[in-house]
C-alpha cells in the first residue's frame, strides 16, 4: 500500500490529518506538530506525535505553551502580558481546548463590542484564526457567533498549509452540521463563473487539495456529495500529485463514493502524475471490493480517445498475436461488450494494474483475473499459462483457480 504525505492539525490530544499519496516510492513524508504547539504546519522533516502522552498531559502542554507565547507575543492584540493573558489569548486557549461554554460566555459577557467585532482579525502565533480551531469541534453555536458576530472570515487560510476552516472541519467525519454551515457560508462568499463553476470551492491547500478532495480522503460522504451538489466540476480537480477525488476514493476503498461518482459520470480513465488510473490506485490500496465494483461498472463507461490508442497497443501486445487479438475482440463483440482497456493502461513504470497486483497481492490478482475472465477470456487464459509457476507458489490447487 502506498504511504502518504501529510498535513497534520494537532489539537490537544487529537489530530486531524489531510493525506496525499506520495507518487514516488511510497515512503512517508509526514508533517505534523506536537500537541504543545497546538497548530497546523508543514515541514520537510518528519515529526512524530508522542502517542504515549495522555490527552490530559497534551492539553495541559497546549495551555502552558499558550501562556508562554502570550508573554512573547500577545496574539497580535497589542496588549501587555505583564498583568496576565489578554481576552484574546484566553479565548484562543478556551477554543483550542474545546471549552465552548466558557468561550461563549467570554464573548457575550466579558469583552467589549469593539473587541468582539475585531476578533475576526485575531491570529495565534502560527497564523490560525479562532474559526480554524472551532471548526475541529461539534459546537455550531460558537461557529455561528464567530462568523456572524465576530467577523471571522470562512475564507481565511493558514499561512503555511493554506487550509481554510472548512478544510480543517472536513477532518472530522461526524460533524456534518458544521460542514454544511461552513460550505454554505463559503459558497455565499463567491459567485459562479461563465462555466457555471464556483472558483471559491476550487481553492487548494499547499499540497493542491480542494475541500472536496479532503472530504473524499477522510471518507465524509455527506460533505463530498454536498460539495458536488454545489459544483459538479470538483470531480475533475487534481492535487499536486495529479490525483482526483476518484483516485482517492478508489485508493481508500470507499465503495459508496465510487458508486456515486459513477452515477455522476466521473472520468475513470484519468491518470495522475505517475500515469496511474483509479484502478491502479485501488489495487495499490488493497481495496478488493472496490476493484470488483469498478471492473463491473467500467464496462458501461466509454473511455476518452486520448488513452485508448496506447492502451489498445498494450492490449494487442499482451495478446501476443493478431489472430488471438482479433478472436478476443470478436468474442467480446458477440457478447455485446464494449472493449474496456482500463486494466491494460500502463503507469510511468510500464506496469498495468494487473502487474501491480501480481507483484504485491496474489489475492488481488485473483480478484482482477476472475472479473476480467468473462470479458477477456483469451487474455486471461494466456496470462494464467504464463504465470503458472506463480500460481503454484501461492498454493493454489490449479491455475483455473487463479
Mean pLDDT across 7-20: 47
CA dihedral (150, 155, 159, 161) positive or negative: positive
82 pLDDT band (50/70/90 cuts)? Answer: very low
Which CA distances in Å does 388 have to 133, 369, 376, 383? Answer: 57, 13, 18, 8
Answer yes or no: are the C-beta atoms of 46 and 40 closer than 8 Å. Answer: no
SS (H, E, C) the chain: CCCEEEEEEEECCEEEEEEEECCCCCCCECCCCCCCCCCEECCCCCCCCCCCCCHHHHHHHHHHHHHHHHHHCCCCCCCCCCCCCCHHHHHHHHHHCCCHHHHHHHHHHHCCHHHHHCHHHCCCCCCCCHHHHHCCCCCHHHHHHHHHCCCCCCCCECCCCCCEHHHHHCCCCCCHHHHHHHHHHHHHCCCCCCCCCCHHHHCCCCCCCCHHHHHHHCCCHHHHHHHHHHCHHHHHCCCCCCCCHHHHHHHHCCHHHHHHHHHCCCCCCCCCCCCCCHHHHHHHCCCHHHHHHHHHHHCCCCCCHHHHHHHHHHHHHHHCCHHHHHHHHHHHHHCCCCCCCHHHCCCCCCCCHHHHHHHHCHHHHHHHHHHHCCCCHHHHHHHHHHCHHHHHHCCCCCHHHC
329 pLDDT band (50/70/90 cuts)? Answer: low
- Mean pLDDT of all residues belonging to the chain: 74
Mean pLDDT across 197-204: 93
What is the predicted pLDDT for the residue at 345? 81
What is the predicted pLDDT for the residue at 402? 44
Mean pLDDT across 294-316: 54
pLDDT tens for each residue of 363-381: 888 888 888 877 677 777 7
Q: What are phi and psi of 170, to 5 degrees?
A: -75, 5
pLDDT tens for each residue of 14-66: 444 445 444 444 433 433 333 233 333 333 222 222 333 333 343 334 444 44
Residues of the chain with pLDDT > 70: what percent? 63
What is the predicted pLDDT for the residue at 279? 92
Mean pLDDT across 153-180: 95
What is the predicted pLDDT for the residue at 373? 77
Q: Which of these ranges, 88-92, 191-195, 385-389, 394-398, has the smallest mean pLDDT?
A: 394-398
For residues 39 and 193, which has the higher predicted lDDT (pLDDT)?
Answer: 193
What is the predicted pLDDT for the residue at 209? 96
Q: What residue spans in the chain does CATH classification 1.25.40.20 cover?
A: 4-191+203-218
Strand order in 40-41's β-sheet?
14-21, 4-11, 40-41
Mean pLDDT across 185-212: 91
Reading the block at residue 309, the C-alpha cell is: 490508442
What is the predicted pLDDT for the residue at 212? 97
Residue 219: closest CA among 178, 249, 247:
249
What is the predicted pLDDT for the residue at 28? 36
What is the predicted pLDDT for the residue at 17? 47
For residues 13 and 291, which has the higher predicted lDDT (pLDDT)?
Answer: 291
Mean pLDDT across 287-316: 62
What is the rounded CA–CA span in Å between residue 254 and residue 90? 41
pLDDT tens for each residue of 224-254: 999 999 999 999 999 999 999 999 999 999 9
What is the predicted pLDDT for the residue at 327? 62
Mean pLDDT across 205-230: 96
What is the rounded CA–CA span in Å between residue 260 and residue 22? 26
For the chain, the first-to-last Cα distance in angstroms comes to: 22
Residues of the chain with pLDDT > 90: what percent? 42
Mean pLDDT across 376-399: 62
What is the rounded CA–CA span in Å between residue 266 and residue 294? 12
Q: Domain 4-191+203-218 is classified in which CATH homologous superfamily?
A: Ankyrin repeat-containing domain (1.25.40.20)
For residues 133 and 333, which has the higher predicted lDDT (pLDDT)?
Answer: 133
What is the predicted pLDDT for the residue at 7? 52
Q: Residue 131: pLDDT above 90? A: yes
What is the predicted pLDDT for the residue at 110? 84
What is the predicted pLDDT for the residue at 359? 85
What is the predicted pLDDT for the residue at 252? 95
* pTM exceeding 0.85: no
What is the rounded CA–CA span in Å between residue 200 and residue 346? 35
What is the predicted pLDDT for the residue at 344? 76
pLDDT tens for each residue of 260-301: 998 888 888 889 999 999 999 999 999 999 998 888 776 655
Amino acid at each position: 500500500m502506498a504511504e502518504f504525505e501529510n498535513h497534520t492539525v494537532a489539537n490537544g490530544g487529537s489530530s486531524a490529518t489531510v493525506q496525499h499519496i506520495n507518487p514516488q516510492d511510497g515512503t512517508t513524508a509526514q508533517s505534523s506538530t506536537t500537541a504543545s504547539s497546538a497548530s497546523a504546519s508543514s515541514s520537510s522533516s518528519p515529526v512524530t506525535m508522542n502517542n504515549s502522552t495522555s490527552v490530559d498531559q497534551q492539553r495541559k502542554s497546549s495551555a502552558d505553551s499558550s501562556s508562554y507565547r502570550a508573554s512573547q507575543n500577545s496574539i497580535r492584540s497589542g496588549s501587555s502580558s505583564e498583568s496576565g493573558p489578554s481576552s484574546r489569548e484566553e479565548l484562543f486557549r478556551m477554543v483550542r481546548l474545546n471549552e465552548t461554554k466558557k468561550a461563549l460566555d467570554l464573548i457575550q459577557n466579558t469583552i467589549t463590542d469593539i473587541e468582539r467585532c475585531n476578533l475576526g482579525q485575531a491570529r495565534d502565533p502560527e497564523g490560525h484564526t479562532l474559526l480554524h480551531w472551532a471548526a475541529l469541534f461539534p459546537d455550531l453555536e460558537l461557529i455561528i457567533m464567530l462568523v456572524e458576530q465576530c467577523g471571522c472570515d470562512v475564507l481565511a487560510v493558514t499561512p503555511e498549509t493554506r487550509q481554510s476552516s472548512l478544510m480543517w472541519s472536513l477532518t472530522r467525519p461526524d460533524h456534518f452540521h458544521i460542514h454544511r454551515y461552513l460550505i454554505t457560508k463559503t459558497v455565499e462568499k463567491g459567485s459562479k463563473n461563465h462555466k457555471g463553476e464556483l472558483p471559491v470551492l476550487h481553492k487548494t491547500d499547499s499540497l493542491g487539495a480542494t475541500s472536496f478532495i479532503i472530504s473524499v480522503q477522510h471518507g465524509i460522504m455527506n460533505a463530498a456529495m454536498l460539495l458536488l451538489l454545489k459544483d459538479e466540476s470538483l470531480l475533475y480537480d487534481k492535487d499536486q500529485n495529479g490525483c482526483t477525488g476518484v483516485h482517492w476514493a478508489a485508493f481508500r476503498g470507499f465503495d459508496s463514493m465510487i458508486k456515486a461518482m459513477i452515477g455522476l459520470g466521473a472520468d475513470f480513465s484519468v491518470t495522475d502524475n505517475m500515469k496511474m488510473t483509479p484502478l491502479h490506485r485501488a489495487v495499490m490500496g488493497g481495496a478488493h471490493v472496490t476493484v470488483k465494483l469498478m471492473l463491473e461498472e467500467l464496462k458501461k463507461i466509454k473511455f476518452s480517445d486520448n488513452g485508448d490508442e496506447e492502451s489498445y497497443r498494450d492490449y494487442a501486445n499482451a495478446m501476443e498475436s493478431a489472430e488471438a487479438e482479433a478472436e478476443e475482440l470478436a468474442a467480446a463483440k458477440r457478447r455485446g461488450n464494449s472493449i474496456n482497456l482500463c486494466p491494460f493502461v500502463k503507469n510511468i513504470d510500464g506496469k498495468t494494474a494487473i502487474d501491480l497486483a501480481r507483484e504485491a497481492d496474489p489475492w488481488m490478482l485473483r480478484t482482477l483475473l476472475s472479473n476480467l475472465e468473462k470479458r477477456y477470456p483469451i487474455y486471461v487464459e494466456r496470462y494464467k499459462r504464463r504465470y503458472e509457476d506463480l500460481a503454484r507458489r501461492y498454493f493454489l490447487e490449479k491455475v483455473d483457480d487463479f
